[in-house]
Amino acid sequence: MIAVVCGVDTSTQSCKVEFFALDDGRRIAGATAAHPPVAPPRSEQNPHAWWNAFVGAFRAALAQAGDVSVRAISVAGQCHGMVPLDAHGEVIRDAKLWNDTTTDGELRRLTERIGADRLIASTGSLPTAAFTLSKVAWFADHEPENFSRLATILLPHDYLTYRLTGAFATDRSEASGTGYFDPSANRYLLDHLALIDESRDWAAMLPEVLPPDGVAGTTTSAAMTELGIAEPALVSAGGGDQHASALGLGIAEGDAVFAFGTSGVVFSTTPEPVRDARGFVNGVANLTGGFLPLVCTLNGAKVIDTFARLMGANHDELSALALQAGSDGPVLAAFLDGERTPNRPLASGLLADLTTETSREQLARAAYEGVVFGLVAGLSHFERCGVRTDGEVIAIGGAARSAATRQILADALGKPVHLVDAPEAVARGAAVQAAAVLSETPIMELAEHWKPARRVAAEPARVSTERFARYAEVAAIDTLDRSRG
């Protein structure tokens, strides 16, 4: 019998479950189950669907793995979403997700009352409508009867941990994306929530914030029955998706990871807090006791999906077309579903410089550039904040499988782009945490031991700043300040 740990990635789109051998970190098995589809501006999911998907994926992976003993589980997942529970621990309503932009009005009013500078100083970030704080305010304003039943607020990964253990627990990485937690002082900012309702005992309604090596508990008998395991498994703190991904990739200070998923994300890791006075960089906590400067855009791989549909091409064909384009042609401000960075929740996409000579190849390239350039702009904000970017560039996520994504990124940065032998980096990072906590090994030490191999997937071919400069002009990102919109 092989002793294994389980890493879970409960994302917007699906739940992925991966088993890794405890002794050496080799992958044993994995499975995926879909979540209900969502589309901004109103983006909500029933947390019970997450649990059902997790149970289904876990059982499928267990059947694939054969004779194994699951010793520990860690859940990483989509950030910011609000899971409201009543006094009996039951879900009151569907969870509002990170990409639900209907809460922007509440966020604007809270930001005005608290002050943008104070928010950045206390939370490390200038919250957008993605942050949980705005969801709680929306709940109070729009559903007062349901809000009156509110007893506990959890985040998406917290909910699975709760179903596994019965404990209300979270971690620094997830808490620092709420808008009411200080990741430097490791404490909740209850005064932010008091602005929503000063009569509530907010401290009693929030999960315990566990340290990186914290333990939420062990699996309950009910959870064990649903999962099909006979022995209790330790459940560690878990964390946010990109935070777990950083751990699974084994990144070091100076590395820059570009994640091309439902959203687009660029992140790195630092030992010290990062505070961006202009509010573009989120200075959230990581899973090792440090920090994970991060810029997130709302429009990732779905932009490429949309252009593939409009052009009647599959993804391989669209990528090939983009790589055949020259240096001229239209540029895309890819704000198709609004945008998070820059914070324009009501925006739509803008395709500029169309002419009668525009080709299919140029349109395809514009789609990829719209996604890539938004994150390249994010990296420039890192550099402005003094974050090191002199390490390797790593591309992950579904759209990173496209040669066009990788090549355009390499050309935009003038640096090689690496792929990593870790197709499910989030689940892998969660498993690293679970194994480290179970074996009482320092997390960074085990992450280095389990670090996956990297390979160069694209070298810069035609480095040029003109197309990015034109993108910045069309997207108007060069004139942004902390204003909302």
- Residue 389's alpha-carbon distances to 110, 274, 378, 455, in angstroms, are 33, 14, 12, 18
Q: Which residues are catalytic?
A: 241
Which residues have a Cβ under 8 Å from the Cβ of 125 and sit 6 or more positions away? Answer: 119, 131, 176, 177, 179, 279, 281, 282, 283, 284
Q: Which has the closest alpha carbon to 72: 437, 429, 401, 372?
A: 437
Cα separation of 382 and 461, whole Å?
A: 24
Q: Which has the closest alpha carbon to 50: 179, 157, 198, 134?
A: 157
Q: What would the 3-class secondary structure string for 83-127 be?
A: EEECCCCCECCCEECCCCCCCHHHHHHHHHHHCHHHHHHHHCCCC
Contact 296, 263 (CB under 8 A): yes
Under DSSP, the state recorded for 338 is: B
Edge to edge, what strands does the sheet with 291-297 contain?
282-285, 291-297, 264-267, 256-260, 393-396, 417-420, 454-458
Q: Which has the closest alpha carbon to 365: 397, 398, 412?
A: 412
Q: Which has the closest alpha carbon to 376: 482, 463, 454?
A: 463
**Crossing angle (nearest 10°) for helices 301-311 and 315-323:** 90
Cα separation of 210 and 216, whole Å?
A: 8
